[in-house]
Structure 1
């Protein structure tokens, strides 16, 4: 396990969406955390936006970025909790073709090491649509750091072994090819 230094790093184009009714671009610490970490790792910040907790608007933005060939991965932060306004997970599931169930499980395991049983209140999730990876992360900078540092940093690095998300990107839509 680890990084295979004999392979070249492949930068991934990542869009970041912050979902919040109370934050603006000037105080979007979670979005800033993700943008800093992904660019620091050598990836490309392909797009960035901030939307209120509105399921239809979130799903529409996700669909726009899924259709954009300049976006390989979408990270959202916020709206994954249990309150009535938390609808990001539902918006994600509105667009998923396949859910990556283990992402939420692994995120919970990582979170439990930091915040104990409070991790049960997160509904972090991941999926694939239109050949694009999507991940819904909680709205705290700490949760974004945990998700990036412990999971996404590795899975979005082509050199990571034994396997990673980047190496299978070309095959995400193989079912749509003519035989």
Structure 2
């Protein structure tokens, strides 16, 4: 989850998001700093759908409108920020986002453990059947296929694919 995402990290011409940094926080949110990603391969460009780009444009416009009305604690523009007066403009903490989404999941009546990292597994499972391993590996920011395999979960449909070979022989 890239909470250090800024407008300049979005390439609207190519529908890509550049991931190469992350926030780290010690004690108070206002004392955050920007670090590079965990590894060199974690830095990557990820192609997204036009709908995602549309939503990012709307978010950026809304944040610009808020900036015109209120003073932000941080000069740099980040996309995922607190709007409370004492920390307005400061990037969200990972723990805050996890806690908020957990509450949303619970309110929906889902009684399973949840954290935002699971969305990486979901994305990998959803796209794995539609792309080459190299593409999935690059999208996840991994250096080798073995790490990506942890994220890729076999779907029911994939488990049945080997049977197609036998069905050809049986016909």
> What is the TM-score normalised by the length of structure 2?
0.27
| Structure of larger gyration radius | 2
Q: Which has the higher contact order (CA 8 A, sep 6+)?
A: 1
User: Whose helix proportion is higher, 1 or 2?
Assistant: 2
User: Whose strand proportion is higher, 1 or 2?
Assistant: 1
